[in-house]
Amino acid sequence: MKTIGTTRVRHPAAFTLVEVLVSLALFALAAVALSAAYLNVIAAYRDKDEAQDRRIAVELVRIAALTEPDRDALERGGTVDLPDRQTATWSARIEPTTVADLFRVELRWRTSGRSEEESHLQVMLHRPAWSEPGERDRLREASRQRLAEWTEP
């Protein structure tokens, strides 16, 4: 209370303009920080779902390709249905190794649908039916010789 002459003047309790502006600025900063955190959580969930979709695609292509017993059919490739109405078209490149009946297989696939991407995977397959008998015998003899060299004193 302030006294002016003989009258007392009472000022109502209120915020000043500066106090209101400071509080609005703090509220705006808090809103921006919370919005950014919320968007980061949403992006993390989306990334997790996409990573899971990729893992599923890899597994389905791998299963489809590696259960194919025919070498020519494996090299031609095929198509696999993926979740969410997507498909993966795959093919394989097969190379012999220095070990009898063991083959290096490179799988390549392209997904189509909601998200398109290309990927590949390299695996080693033991497939005796794919080996030529003469080549198998030559590779086995070479393996025996290498083993004998390692075990000789």
Cβ neighbours of residue 136 closer than 8 Å, sequence gap 6 or more: 100, 101, 128
Q: What is the pLDDT of residues 14-29, one digit of tens each?
A: 889 999 999 999 999 9
CA distance 52 to 128: 34
Segment 24-79, tens digit of pLDDT: 999 999 999 999 999 999 999 999 988 888 888 889 988 988 888 899 999 999 99
pTM of the model: 0.64
